[in-house]
Amino acid sequence: MVPLVVIFAVSVMECVLGRPPTLAPLPMKDGCYLVSPEVMIFEMEGEAIILSFPMFWRVLKKRKVAPPTAKYIITKDNEAEDAPYQGEGRVQQHGKQLWFLPAQASDSGEYIGTYRNDTYCVTGSISLQVYKSSSADIKKWSYSISHPVGEDLKFSCPNLSDFNQTGRPIEWYKNSSLTSVQPDKPDSSFWDTGDLVIPAVKRYHAGLYTCHLRAVINNQQYKVSRAVLLCVEGPDPVITTTVHDPSKTSNQEPFSSSNSTVHTPVIRPPVIVSPLNGTIFESLHGLELICKVLTDCQMSDNTEVAWLANGKSVESSYLDGRALQGGKRVTRVSEGCQIELRLIVVAVTKEDLKTELKCITHNQEGRQEVVVKLQLEDSTFTWLVVAVVAVSCFLTVNSIFCYILCKPQRKKKMDYFLARQNSTF
C-alpha cells in the first residue's frame, strides 16, 4: 500500500512541477513513423514556390528526434525515393526545402519528406496544387480574414518569410483591377514595410486583395503573389446629412425649419433562405441539394454562393468525381433577387456521414453560411416498400389469371336437322 501512495505522490509532483505528458506513439507504415500531413498549398503557375514541412520538423523537435547521421530526402509521390531532387535545375532541394523556379501546373501532387538512417525513419507529406494563370479560380488559393465595420485594419502580405525581397515595395491590387491600391498616407510606415492599412473599414472595402513582390533567388528575380479575401462584418451606419435651403431667410419663425434630413439607404446583406442550418438530408442513393440566397438585385452579380465539403471546395475535396456543383441561377422575386446553386451528389456512402457540407454566401454587405448533414436512408424500410409493391403486383396478376381460367364457358347453339327415317327419297 505504501509504494502505491509514494508512486501517486511522485506523479502528482511531476504534474505540479510541469513535467510534459508522455507523447503518443506515431503510427508506422512500411517501417517509417508517419507524421500528420501538412496543410495543402495552392499556388500559381509561373511563380517561385518554396515548399517546406513545418509540422514535420515541429514534431521531430518536440520528440527530440535528430539522429546525427540521418539523411533528409524530398520526393514526389510517384517517384522513387532513391531519386531525390538535386540542387540544380528548375526543381531543387536545398536542405529542408524544395524550390520551384518557377512552378508549373505539372508540379501538382503530393510530396514526401523522409528523414532516415540505418535504424530510424520518419516521413511526412504535403500536397501542392499549382493553377494555370489563365484558368485559376483565385478564391480557391486565397487567405481569408474578417474584420468589423468601423475599425482600422492592417494586414501583411502572408507567408513570405522564405523569400528575399528585392527592396522594391510590395504592390497591392483589389479584385481584378490593374491599378495598384495606393496608401491613404504617402508617408505611412506600414506601407513601407509591405502592410496595407485601411482606416475605419467600410462595407465597400470588402473584396479580394492580391499582393505582388519580386523575390531574389540564386541572383535571379522571380514573381511571388498572395491573395487575401477580406470579409467585412456588420452593416455601415446610416449616414444623416443636413441640407440647407438658401431660399429660406433668417427672419422666419423660430420654429420653422429650413433644413432637411437625408437618410442614405442601407443595402441588406445576403440571406440564405434554404436550406436551414442543421438540416439533415437522407438518401440511400444520390440526392440534389439547392442553396437559395436572397439578396438585393443590384448586388446579385457581386454575390458569391458556393458549396464546401469539410471546409474545401467540392472540386478539391474527396467528393470530387461523385459530386457536381451547378451554375448560379438568378431569378427576381418580390423581396429582391434569389440566387440558386445546386449540388448533385451521385451516391451517398458511409464516409459522407461525417462530412460537413456548408453553403456560404458573401458580398460587400455581409456573409452567411449554413451547415447541413447527410444521412443514409434506412434500407429496411425501402426494401419493405419494394416487397409490398411486388406482392401486390403478383396477387393482381394471379387473380386475373385465375378468373380467366375458371370463367364458365357458354354453350354454343348447335345447327342440326333430323335425318329421314326412310333411306329412300
Render pLDDT for 96-123 as a digit per residue (tens, 0 to 9).
899 999 999 999 999 998 888 878 888 8
Residues 107 and 147 in one domain: no
Q: What is the pLDDT of residue 237?
A: 63
Residues 115 and 28 in one domain: yes
CATH of the domain at 216: 2.60.40.10
pLDDT in tens, 3-23: 444 344 444 444 434 444 556
Average per-residue pLDDT in the chain? 75
Residue 25 forms part of a structural domain? yes
Residue 81 structural domain: 16-131
> Rounded to whole angstroms, how far apart are CA atoms 307 and 371?
10
Residue 78 forms part of a structural domain? yes
Per-residue HEC secondary structure of the chain comes to CHHHHHHHHHHHHHHHCCCCCCCCCCCEECCEEECCCCCCEEEECCCCEEECCHHHHHHHHHCCCCCCCCEEEEEECCCCCCCCCCCCCCEEEECCEEEECCCCHHHCEEEEEEEECCCCEEEEEEEEEEECCCCCCHHHHCEEEEEECCCCEEECCCCCCCCCECCCCCEEEECCCCCCCCCCCCCCHHHHCCCEEECCCCHHHCEEEEEEEEEEECCEEEEEEEEEEEEEECCCCCCEEEEECCCCCCCCCCCCCCEEEEECCCCCCCEEEECCCCCEEEECCCEEEEEEEEECHHHCCCCEEEEEECCEEHHHCCCECCEEECCCEEEEECCEEEEEEEEEECCCCHHHHHCCEEEEEEECCEEEEEEEEEEECCHHHHHHHHHHHHHHHHHHHHHHHHHHHHCCCCCCCCCCCCCCCCCCC
Residues 203 and 275 in one domain: no
Q: What cell was used for 403? A: 378468373
Residue 185 forms part of a structural domain? yes
pLDDT in tens, 172-192: 888 766 555 655 443 333 344
Measured CA to CA in angstroms, residue 214 lies from 46, 51, 169, 171, 398 at distances of 13, 18, 9, 10, 83
Domain count for the chain, please give it.
3
Residue 66: pLDDT band with limits 50, 70, 90: low
Residue 308 forms part of a structural domain? yes
Q: What cell was used for 259? A: 433644413
C-beta of residue 200 within 8 angstroms of C-beta of residue 148? no
Q: What is the pLDDT of residue 41?
A: 87
Q: What is the pLDDT of residue 191?
A: 41
Q: Is the pTM of this model over 0.75?
A: no
Residues 20 and 124 in one domain: yes
Q: What is the pLDDT of residue 277?
A: 83
Between 221 and 281, name the one with better pLDDT.
221
Last residue of a domain, one of 131, 153, 172: 131
Q: What is the pLDDT of residue 421?
A: 52
Residues 112 and 152 in one domain: no
> Rounded to whole angstroms, how far apart are CA atoms 413 and 74?
100
| Nearest by Cα to 365 from 209, 236, 274, 216 | 236
Residues 142 and 121 in one domain: no
Residues 79 and 94 in one domain: yes
> Rounded to whole angstroms, how far apart are CA atoms 231 and 259?
37
Give me the mean pLDDT over the 118-130 stretch.
87
Residue 194: pLDDT band with limits 50, 70, 90: confident
Residues 365 and 306 in one domain: yes
Q: What is the pLDDT of residue 416?
A: 47
| Nearest by Cα to 110 from 182, 41, 191, 189 | 41
Residues 144 and 121 in one domain: no
Residue 412 forms part of a structural domain? no
Which amino acid appears at position 236 of this protein? D
Residue % of the chain over a pLDDT of 70:
69
Residues 293 and 327 in one domain: yes
Phi, psi (degrees; rounded to nearest 5) at 219: 65, 20
Last residue of a domain, one of 131, 154, 175: 131
Which amino acid appears at position 137 of this protein? D
Between 78 and 183, name the one with better pLDDT.
78
Last residue of a domain, one of 344, 361, 376: 376
| Nearest by Cα to 86 from 70, 108, 68, 101 | 101
Give me the mean pLDDT over the 82-102 stretch.
83
Please tell me the least confidently modeled range out of 132-141, 366-375, 415-424: 415-424
Give me the mean pLDDT over the 166-177 stretch.
76
C-beta of residue 270 within 8 angstroms of C-beta of residue 363? yes
Give me the mean pLDDT over the 242-263 stretch.
46
pLDDT in tens, 317-373: 888 778 888 778 888 888 788 999 988 888 777 777 778 888 999 888 788 889 988
Residues 151 and 167 in one domain: yes
Q: What is the pLDDT of residue 91?
A: 92
Residue 99 forms part of a structural domain? yes
Please tell me the least confidently modeled range out of 33-37, 237-241, 356-360: 237-241
Residues 6+ apart with CB under 8 A from 153: 147, 197, 198, 199, 201, 205, 230
Between 34 and 235, name the one with better pLDDT.
34
Q: Are strands 312-313 and 323-325 parallel, antiparallel or unpaired?
A: unpaired
Residues 67 and 20 in one domain: yes
- Angle 255-259-265 from CA coordinates, rounded to 5°: 130
Please tell me the least confidently modeled range out of 182-191, 195-204, 219-228, 375-384: 182-191
Q: What cell was used for 116? A: 532516415
> Rounded to whole angstroms, how far apart are CA atoms 345 and 319?
8
Residue 143 forms part of a structural domain? yes
Residue 245 forms part of a structural domain? no
In DSSP terms, 92 is beta-bridged to 99
